[in-house]
A and B are shown apart, each in its own frame.
Chain A
Amino acid sequence: MPKIEVSRQDLFSIACIDDPGDDKLADILSLVKGEIDASEGDKLKIELNDTNRPDLWCVEGVARALRCWNSGAEKHLTELPEPDMDIFVDPGLEKVRPFVAAFAACGWAPDERELDALIDVQEKLAASFGRNRKTAAAGFYLLDEIEFPVRYRTASPETSFVPLGFDQEMTLSEIPEETETGRTYAHLLAGSELWPLLEDTGGNVLSFPPVLNSQTTGRVSAGDSRLFCEVTGTDWDTVQLSATILACNLQDRGAEIIPVRVNYPEPYPEKTVVSPVIFSDLMITSMDSVRGVLGVDISPESVRKALQRMDYASVKLDETGITGILPPYRRDGIHAVDMIEDIAISLGLSSFEPLLPEQFTLGRCAPIEDLADAVRLLLIGTDCEEILRPVLTSREKVMDLSRTPKSPVSIANPMTAEYGVVRNTLLPGLLEVESTSAHAAYPHRIFETGEVLIDCEEGYCRTEVLLTCLVCGNKADFGDIHSIIGSVCHARKLEMSLADTDDARFIPGRCAAITIDGRVSGVIGELHPLVLDNWGISRPASAFEIALSALKG
């Protein structure tokens, strides 16, 4: 979940409310599905739970939601002037980083704190929404340093400029080696021989996206009131929405937004795109749906009010139909239920009186769990202690230490080898108990019922529930373990028979396949001293392992 750090003073000043204190604020933040993560002095950390609302990942967005809820929907990016700045995109970029959007913001001079907030949202959008700058990354520049039109072109690795924060020229190929951001982001351009470059008519480099901006045009500081913003990336929607969100934020701060025309060559589908794009997604539903989902007899007028407080500027409705338009910074409405949720949030969940479902339904236990419960009680009756072990384990424990005949299913991307396979037997888990419990009073009689993953024919895997039981102590021979499974089978009214078998885990001649009601269901034996030695177990041990379902009868 995205987390943002904001200044309280900044937040409440643009939200146009008094600081309500943390307790009250926690309730208010539910409007934006936000939670206070930390609060210290003026610093406030907020976690935003909605991963589809990048517009909320900044102080301006959160403040806007609070403001609108108090005083209704606002106008965003309306009555913008005609674009008089152009960006020309060169052929070839479609293979590297195809899209660019841009606009200028004039007449608002950020102070230090506001500039920090601006940089924060630019970083947050690129990191979370823009997939670590892959699908979109933004940059800010001094408008007056740029000679239009700007070219978005491909450049050879030998092209050089002075990167932001440095005092000497570097070639594009040096940047991934010499700079921190270069090392972090250059992989995004891997595989391409030509790299993207934004350059103005005077030959000044604006940026080597998405890696570094230039020192000449990119050194924005507090007090600069004429800014140029660009967003480049690989995904059209992400690039445009990022630019639109940034434009809305700057307009909220008091800047005048001047659009930019982007001119694309063949083979792009569109020749020119003016940004910021004013999105206006239509949301259509009916009063019946709203009432059905929310379970309340709400009036059309209340629906309109609720939506306006969620910044739906235009809501058309009659007794049956509701049409809302999402504000331009939102594209997360993909079904009418999304608008219905906005109504619920606007009204506040605490305004809905909870009800219990009235229809009668049967409570029922899953058959395998029913069986497991019965068998677990039988084992408790034989003085066994129940064990619970993790499902993930290591190949070494299953194969090398325990000598399991069949190989377990491996994880392709394990975090550590220690949890690199999915268990296919419970026995290693019980052996591990023995290897760490020499100090616990003997005798040990332990068992586990649990899920394992079996690799069956044709590459398919299947989850199965096993029952494994182990005895260990000064005397823990075949007879001791045999009597346990024997008494369980007796209690379950099952016929059990044993047949000699070979299994590397057990001593030859003291190991048998268990047949229950005519079906081979598991194995029983005295554990081989090799296995005990592998695990550092200093007393004899015997065990059986069977498919739990065999005890169903």
Chain B
Amino acid sequence: MTEERDLHPLEEKLLVYLEENGESSDAEIIERSDLPDEGSYRRAAEWLLSRELVREISRDEEEFVELGPMGIGNLEAGVTPELAMLREVARGAGSLQDIQKNTLFDRGRWGSAFGSLTKTGHLKKDADGIHLTCEPEETVFRKIWDLVYELLSGGGELKMTRLPEDVVSIINDRSPKRGKSRAEFTVNVLVTRVLDITEEGRIALRAAKESITIGAITPEILADGSWRNAKFRRYQLDIPPSQIHTGRLHPYRQFLDTVRKRFMALGFAEMRGSLAENEFWNNDALFMPQFHPARDIHDVYFLSDGIKVPPPERELEERVAEVHENGGNTGGRGWGYSFSRKQSLQAILRSQGTALSARTLASNPAIPGKYFGIARCFRYDQVDSTHLPDFFQVEGIVLGEYINLRHLLGLLRLFAEEIAGASDFKFLPGYFPFTEPSVEMHIKHPVLGWVEGGGAGLFRPEVCLPLGIDVPVIAWGLGLDRMAMLAMGIEDIRDLITPDLSRLRGIRVLPDHLLKGKVDENA
């Protein structure tokens, strides 16, 4: 007994019963012993059998058949598709197409009935069509109807041994172990065992009765000191733990948190904006002409009549209008059109994170200064596996007296390495109405290859000067949803905002790996 573990209380109960009652069947033990339920009995029996403290005297297996979901469907139809098909042919149907016109069963089920009937030889097909080789009412399918369906019409199950061999063979064919939801029959096996205690069992039981074994430690046991002379029952330690649904952060928010932390670590201060903007801050202040296609009603969401966003200061608005019309004091010639104040004040949902930068520039920022913001933006897109109604964009600006194109490239390189975890990157000339020069970065993602890594540039003088900024400003922006999908290992963008809690619980991310392209595949 030195290496043996002590008896579990369930094991002890079963041994006690067998010692008192001798050979007993499963049913007797479950009904009469002190074991709390059938599950406890079966567990205790398995443990004791493996330790040879009880032995199996006999073992009987009996099979029972019951109707599966498809069988129940047949019962409702009053016939099986095979029998119905044989009858249709007997009545003169000459082709599968003829029979499939009958809507008693769908085309698929007629088709598979036809397949099995030609396989069993009940039907033959030649150039003239299909023919019977039997009398339908004398086939095994009629027998199944009478002996199985009729008897099970009120539910329950039948002993397989009572059924003729050909019927059993069909039932076995049609009761798959997998895909039970479409099975015609289900076959259940009932095992009946008779157990008895062994000599080792009696010894173990005696030993157990003589010593005190402690299961759960209670405050009383600690208080009365009874543990000093007792044994501690050994636990089975390698069973799976029960799962705790812990509180957890949302995986996409964790990704965004990681991006924010990186920016703050690089010396950027966080900007915040509002969901609704007027066109002034979203577009005009960024020198996007009022006729720009991206300002079209098909690209931007307008808020309903009457809802407004506070207008900019009149002087600022006039400076911006002048720059649009004729370049103002920027040295440029402007877009050359008549600026509409009405359009400028139209309230819209923010369509680009750059609106945050415009507001920051107008609010007397620190120079030198570095700012970033993560903004929810809205574009006019049909929602599908790659588009959401709103998406997250990160936006950054850097202001400084001696800032130039090379600093822009240097920062982009830093972002590629620090934020996107890219192994390689390249710069291409880009076009944005508010920057010049403009640069697009492409980054080499470890999984996807070359992807867009954001647009950037030096804000045009037409953007900076009216907002009161007379030093160069680097601006950079990137949509984050796609990067997040890659980092989180999800393929449908809608999963980022899923309302399905079990799906959400299935997305497991390692926040410290989020920006390195390492993902848990088991999403």
Chain A residues close to B by CB (< 8 Å): 30-31, 33, 35, 49-52, 237, 292-296, 334-338, 340-341, 344-345, 349-350, 352-357, 359-366, 368-369, 373, 376, 379-392, 409-416, 418-419, 422, 429, 432-433, 435-437, 439-441, 444-446, 451-453, 455, 458-463
Closest Cβ–Cβ distance, residue B213 to chain A (whole Å): 34
Q: Assess whether B334 is in contact with A334, with CB atoms less than 8 Å apart.
A: yes
One of A363, A380, A388, A436 near B500 (C-beta < 8 A): A436
Q: Assess whether A459 is in contact with B307, with CB atoms less than 8 Å apart.
A: yes
13 interchain pairs, CB-CB under 8 A:
A52-B431, A335-B330, A337-B332, A345-B429, A355-B409, A356-B414, A359-B400, A361-B366, A390-B389, A391-B376, A441-B245, A446-B501, A459-B307
B428 beta carbon closer than 8 Å to chain A = yes
In chain B, what residue has the closest Cβ to A353? B406
B272-330 with Cβ < 8 A to chain A? 272-276, 292-293, 297, 301-310, 327, 330
One of B301, B330, B407, B496 near A356 (C-beta < 8 A): B407
Q: Which residues of B contact A445 (CB under 8 A)?
A: 247
Q: Assess whether B249 is in contact with A380, with CB atoms less than 8 Å apart.
A: yes
Q: Assess whether B414 is in contact with A33, with CB atoms less than 8 Å apart.
A: no
Q: Which residues of B contact A435 (CB under 8 A)?
A: 499
Q: Assess whether B347 is in contact with A433, with CB atoms less than 8 Å apart.
A: no
Closest Cβ–Cβ distance, residue A219 to chain B (whole Å): 33
- Of A52, A412, A462, the most chain B CB neighbours within 10 A belong to A412
- Of A337, A357, A416, A436, the most chain B CB neighbours within 10 A belong to A357
B473-523 with Cβ < 8 A to chain A? 474, 496-497, 499-502, 504-505
B252 beta carbon closer than 8 Å to chain A = yes
Q: Assess whether A411 is in contact with B390, with CB atoms less than 8 Å apart.
A: no
One of B264, B388, B413, B502 near A439 (C-beta < 8 A): B502
Chain B residues close to A by CB (< 8 Å): 243, 245-250, 252-253, 257, 260, 263-276, 292-293, 297, 301-310, 327, 330-336, 347, 349, 366, 368-370, 373, 376, 378, 380-383, 388-390, 398, 400, 403-407, 409-414, 426-431, 433, 436-440, 458, 460-462, 472, 474, 496-497, 499-502, 504-505
In chain A, what residue has the closest Cβ to B249? A386
Q: Assess whether B264 is in contact with A363, with CB atoms less than 8 Å apart.
A: yes
Q: Which residues of A contact B272 (CB under 8 A)?
A: 366, 368-369
Q: Assess whether A409 is in contact with B304, with CB atoms less than 8 Å apart.
A: yes
Q: Which residues of B contact A293 (CB under 8 A)?
A: 404-405, 437, 458, 472
The SS class assigned to the A binding surface is mixed
Closest Cβ–Cβ distance, residue B79 to chain A (whole Å): 36
Q: Which residues of A contact B247 (CB under 8 A)?
A: 379-386, 445
Q: Assess whether A387 is in contact with B293, with CB atoms less than 8 Å apart.
A: no
Docked Cα-Cα span, A418 to B260, in Å, equals: 31
Q: Assess whether A392 is in contact with B497, with CB atoms less than 8 Å apart.
A: no
Docked Cα-Cα span, A31 to B437, in Å, equals: 13
Q: Assess whether A365 is in contact with B460, with CB atoms less than 8 Å apart.
A: no
Docked Cα-Cα span, A392 to B349, in Å, equals: 10
Docked Cα-Cα span, A337 to B436, in Å, equals: 6
Closest Cβ–Cβ distance, residue A105 to chain B (whole Å): 29
Q: Which residues of B contact A356 (CB under 8 A)?
A: 407, 410-411, 414
Closest Cβ–Cβ distance, residue A404 to chain B (whole Å): 17
Q: Assess whether A433 is in contact with B267, with CB atoms less than 8 Å apart.
A: no
Known: A35-B428, A363-B269. 15 other contacts (CB 8 A): A334-B332, A334-B335, A344-B429, A353-B406, A355-B407, A356-B407, A360-B267, A366-B271, A376-B253, A384-B247, A386-B250, A414-B301, A422-B275, A441-B245, A446-B501
Closest Cβ–Cβ distance, residue A305 to chain B (whole Å): 18
Docked Cα-Cα span, A443 to B107, in Å, equals: 44
Q: Which residues of B contact A388 (CB under 8 A)?
A: 250, 252-253, 496-497
Q: Assess whether B250 is in contact with A387, with CB atoms less than 8 Å apart.
A: yes
One of A337, A352, A412, A458 near B302 (C-beta < 8 A): A412
Docked Cα-Cα span, A455 to B332, in Å, equals: 40
Q: Which residues of B contact A463 (CB under 8 A)?
A: 273-276
Q: A353-B406, A356-B410 are known contacts. Are A432 and B307 too (CB-CB below 8 A)?
A: no
Q: Assess whether B274 is in contact with A389, with CB atoms less than 8 Å apart.
A: no
Q: Assess whether A337 is in contact with B460, with CB atoms less than 8 Å apart.
A: yes
Docked Cα-Cα span, A344 to B436, in Å, equals: 10
Q: Assess whether A411 is in contact with B250, with CB atoms less than 8 Å apart.
A: no
Docked Cα-Cα span, A341 to B405, in Å, equals: 10
Q: Assess whether A440 is in contact with B413, with CB atoms less than 8 Å apart.
A: no
In chain B, what residue has the closest Cβ to A431? B499
Q: Assess whether B248 is in contact with A357, with CB atoms less than 8 Å apart.
A: no
In chain B, what residue has the closest Cβ to A49? B431
Docked Cα-Cα span, A65 to B427, in Å, equals: 19
One of B257, B260, B430, B499 near A433 (C-beta < 8 A): B499
Q: Which residues of A contact B305 (CB under 8 A)?
A: 412
Q: Assess whether A440 is in contact with B438, with CB atoms less than 8 Å apart.
A: no
In chain B, what residue has the closest Cβ to A292? B404
Q: Which residues of A contact B273 (CB under 8 A)?
A: 463
Q: Which residues of B contact A296 (CB under 8 A)?
A: 406
A/B pair count, beta carbons within 8 Å: 266
Q: Which residues of B contact A390 (CB under 8 A)?
A: 388-390, 497
Q: A365-B264, A411-B303 are known contacts. Are A389 and B499 too (CB-CB below 8 A)?
A: yes
Q: Which residues of B contact A411 (CB under 8 A)?
A: 301-304, 349
Q: A344-B429, A384-B247 are known contacts. Are A364 and B501 too (CB-CB below 8 A)?
A: no
Q: Which residues of A contact B369 (CB under 8 A)?
A: 361
One of B327, B370, B388, B406 near A335 (C-beta < 8 A): B327
Q: Which residues of A contact B502 (CB under 8 A)?
A: 437, 439-441
Q: Assess whether A51 is in contact with B293, with CB atoms less than 8 Å apart.
A: yes
In chain A, what residue has the closest Cβ to B263? A363
Q: A296-B406, A341-B437 are known contacts. Are A50 and B389 too (CB-CB below 8 A)?
A: no
Q: Assess whether A344 is in contact with B437, with CB atoms less than 8 Å apart.
A: yes
Closest Cβ–Cβ distance, residue B426 to chain A (whole Å): 8
Q: Which residues of B contact A415 (CB under 8 A)?
A: 380-382
Closest Cβ–Cβ distance, residue A224 to chain B (whole Å): 34
Docked Cα-Cα span, A33 to B455, in Å, equals: 13
Docked Cα-Cα span, A452 to B349, in Å, equals: 12
Q: A412-B302, A446-B501 are known contacts. Are A383 and B409 too (CB-CB below 8 A)?
A: no
Q: Assess whether B368 is in contact with A350, with CB atoms less than 8 Å apart.
A: no
One of B249, B267, B302, B370 near A376 (C-beta < 8 A): B249
Docked Cα-Cα span, A446 to B502, in Å, equals: 12
Q: Assess whether A453 is in contact with B496, with CB atoms less than 8 Å apart.
A: no
Q: Which residues of B contact A462 (CB under 8 A)?
A: 274
One of B246, B333, B347 near A461 (C-beta < 8 A): B347
Q: Assess whether B276 is in contact with A422, with CB atoms less than 8 Å apart.
A: yes
One of B306, B390, B474 near A392 (C-beta < 8 A): B390
In chain A, what residue has the closest Cβ to B294? A51
Q: Assess whether A357 is in contact with B410, with CB atoms less than 8 Å apart.
A: yes
Q: Assess whether A409 is in contact with B307, with CB atoms less than 8 Å apart.
A: yes
Q: Assess whether A357 is in contact with B437, with CB atoms less than 8 Å apart.
A: no
Q: Assess whether B436 is in contact with A461, with CB atoms less than 8 Å apart.
A: no
Docked Cα-Cα span, A19 to B334, in Å, equals: 39
Q: Which residues of B contact A365 (CB under 8 A)?
A: 260, 264, 270
Q: Which residues of A contact B257 (CB under 8 A)?
A: 373
Q: Assess whether B268 is in contact with A338, with CB atoms less than 8 Å apart.
A: no
Docked Cα-Cα span, A436 to B376, in Å, equals: 25
Docked Cα-Cα span, A456 to B261, in Å, equals: 33
One of A354, A364, A389, A410 near B413 (C-beta < 8 A): A354
Q: A391-B376, A415-B380, A440-B502 are known contacts. Are A335 and B460 too (CB-CB below 8 A)?
A: yes
Q: Assess whether B327 is in contact with A361, with CB atoms less than 8 Å apart.
A: no
Closest Cβ–Cβ distance, residue A197 to chain B (whole Å): 28
Q: Assess whether B303 is in contact with A461, with CB atoms less than 8 Å apart.
A: yes
Closest Cβ–Cβ distance, residue A287 to chain B (whole Å): 14
In chain A, what residue has the closest Cβ to B305? A412
Q: Assess whether B304 is in contact with A33, with CB atoms less than 8 Å apart.
A: no
Docked Cα-Cα span, A389 to B389, in Å, equals: 11
Q: Which residues of B contact A357 (CB under 8 A)?
A: 368, 370, 398, 400, 403, 407, 410-411, 474
Q: Assess whether B331 is in contact with A336, with CB atoms less than 8 Å apart.
A: yes
Q: Assess whether A412 is in contact with B461, with CB atoms less than 8 Å apart.
A: no
